[in-house]
Amino acid sequence: MSTYSMCYDSQACVRCFTCVVSCSVENRLRLQRNGTTALENGVNKSLPQLNYLQPVQREYGKYPESYRITELHHCMHCENSPCATYCPSHAIERRPGGQVVINQDLCVGCRTCQEACPFDVPVYDKATNASYKCIMCYDRVESDLKPACVSSCIANALISGTREEVVAEAKKRAKRYSEQFGKEYIVYGADKINDYVGKTGWMTIVAAEEMEKYGLPKKPVVSSMGIRQTTKAIGIGASAAVALGAGAHFLYWLANRKEVLSAQEKEDGHE
Amino acid sequence: MSKKITAFTPFQMFYHKSIIILMFFFILTGLPILSPYFHWIAYCFGVPFDFISSQNGDALTAGIQVCRIVHRVAAMLFLLFSLPFAVTQLLQIAQWHIWPESGAAGIGGLKTSYIDFKHARQGKYNAGQKIAAYVFIVCIAMLAFSGFVLWFRGSFSVATLTLARTLHDIGFALLLPTLLGHMYFGIHPLNRAGFKAMFGTGELNEEEVKSHHPLWYEKIKQNEQ
């Protein structure tokens, strides 16, 4: 199975948020399908952790020139998926299709994924002591269906398919927008962003000058994760060095033991 | 019978023993979360736990969860023992033997003691022991405060959690090698008298103090006068 990818076209999007609603509905139905809970419970409870797509609205500039930008906040399904790398209980896996999925049955609720994620995506739920985030409807995709949000999009602003198809279509659209609006449009995540995340499975077509306002950082990295890895390596290395040094010192002491003891006896004799 | 000098009070000896046991559990249960190289420790807890509790779940997840709980139980006991210990010790902070002393051999004294195997001019503790004491105090405080944040991570922001994790890691990375060195010199035959004092009666022979810790001996004699 080749890598499955998605793309959000912020230019084509009409902000109807049908995707957000269908995502939430799909996740409630999923609870019933998985046998986790009855449909009634899934519908009656608010379960905010199941809203994998969140519209985040921010205002920029000063009134009356101010304008609003709505970021569609969701998991990027990073190629290098730092959340999966740092998860201590191996609860996060990358499916053959490239979807990054948290298995709540294996999650210990330590929230390392929250820390490792440069996009601030995973949400912790106290009731189940587990973290949640978009799974790119891997179950639907593996059954030849489109992700719920994509299938419900009325403006064709969410597209999905094999990576090659999606990247080709997204780049075509970005090129057209660039020509039409006279400013550069990019496909965020189509190419490697940095070593921390790599490419992303969920790309975004956005004006280059506005990408950060859409919650798409130029350098998505959590530097403390690297610092911590280095600290741990130094700690283990220093401990090994001390252990080796202690062993060497003990051998040195053994070799000199007789002389030391006789010298001490002599000293004691003088006293 | 030679005269005995009290090196450690019964409370100090008790606290030291409890910290040894707690440190064992802290390190044992912390390592699987520190690095996947130590996941085997989590499996050692998780496989029997999974079997006994009939969860039929994942052994690694169960093991990590058991490790986290044991780590927290150890933390509670640590708090229970450390609070009274810290209070009683801080009240006599001026009498601590880990402060710099004039006339002490310093770092050079370590060579005299451990390479030449002769008696260096030093107080109750040599320069190495003093440095280890500073590292222990700073690191354990760092680990305790950051550990508190980590335990109640739901009440703090992700940025605070990240800072706490980083401090917890730095604290441990400094503590572990120092602890290994401390253990080595502690159980080394050169330190037989000190070892016996810490784990036995808490007392040292006057001759031992006079030859091994001349500065301390002078202090004691001065106080006696």
Report how far residue B62's alpha carbon sits from residue A107's, in angstroms, rounded to the nearest whole number. 10
Whether residue A115 and residue B158 make contact (CB cut-off 8 A), yes or no, is yes
Whether residue A256 and residue B170 make contact (CB cut-off 8 A), yes or no, is no
Please, which residues have CB within 8 angstroms of residue B138's CB and are 6 or more apart in sequence? B171, B174
Supply the angle between the helices B39-52 and B59-90 in degrees, to the nearest 10.
Answer: 110
Query: What DSSP letter does each residue of B3-39 carry, written as one string?
Result: PEEE-S-HHHHHHHHHHHHHHHHHHHHHHHHH-GGGH
Whether residue A110 and residue B60 make contact (CB cut-off 8 A), yes or no, is no
Give the number of residues written for chain B.
225
Closest A-chain CA to B43: A89
Whether residue A91 and residue B190 make contact (CB cut-off 8 A), yes or no, is no
Whether residue B173 and residue A124 make contact (CB cut-off 8 A), yes or no, is no
pLDDT score recorded for residue A267: 62
Closest A-chain CA to B38: A88
Report how far residue A227's alpha carbon sits from residue A233's, in angstroms, rounded to the nearest whole number. 10
pLDDT score recorded for residue A262: 74
Least CB-CB distance to A246: which of B32, B165, B184? B184
Q: CB contacts < 8 Å between A and B, how many?
A: 95
Residue B206 CB coordination number (10 Å): 14
Report how far residue A96's alpha carbon sits from residue A1's, in angstroms, rounded to the nearest whole number. 7
Q: Which residues of A touch B (CB under 8 A)?
A: 88-91, 105-108, 110-111, 114-115, 120, 124, 126, 222, 224, 227-228, 231-232, 234-236, 238-239, 241-243, 245-246, 249-250, 252-253, 256, 260, 263, 271
Report how far residue A74's alpha carbon sits from residue A121's, in angstroms, rounded to the nearest whole number. 6
pLDDT score recorded for residue B1: 55
Least CB-CB distance to A227: which of B34, B166, B172? B166
Instruction: Kindly report the backbone phi and psi dihedral angles of residue A115, in degrees, each rounded to the nearest multiple of 5, phi listed first.
Output: -70, -40
Per-10-residue mean pLDDT of chain A, 271 residues long, equals 89 94 92 80 82 92 90 95 94 94 93 93 93 95 95 95 95 96 95 94 95 93 91 93 94 84 64 42
Give the type of residue at B217: Y
> What residues in chain B have per-residue pLDDT under 50?
none
Whether residue A253 and residue B170 make contact (CB cut-off 8 A), yes or no, is no
pLDDT score recorded for residue A269: 53
Whether residue A231 and residue B34 make contact (CB cut-off 8 A), yes or no, is no
Q: What is the pLDDT of residues B28-37, one digit of tens each?
A: 999 999 988 9
pLDDT score recorded for residue B225: 74
Closest A-chain CA to B30: A88
B181 has a chain A CB within 8 A of its CB:
yes
Give the type of residue at A4: Y
The bridge status of strand A4-9 relative to strand A202-207 is parallel
Please, which residues have CB within 8 angstroms of residue A77's CB and are 6 or more apart in sequence? A6, A98, A99, A100, A134, A136, A200, A201, A202
Provide, as residue numbers in chain B, all residues whose Cβ is less than 8 Å from the Cβ of A252.
115
What's the burial of A126, exposed, middle or buried (CB within 10 Å: 0-12/13-18/19+)? Answer: exposed
Provide, as residue numbers in chain A, all residues whose Cβ is less than 8 Å from the Cβ of B153.
111
pLDDT score recorded for residue A271: 42
Supply the angle between the helices B127-151 and B59-90 in degrees, to the nearest 10.
Answer: 120
pLDDT score recorded for residue A266: 67
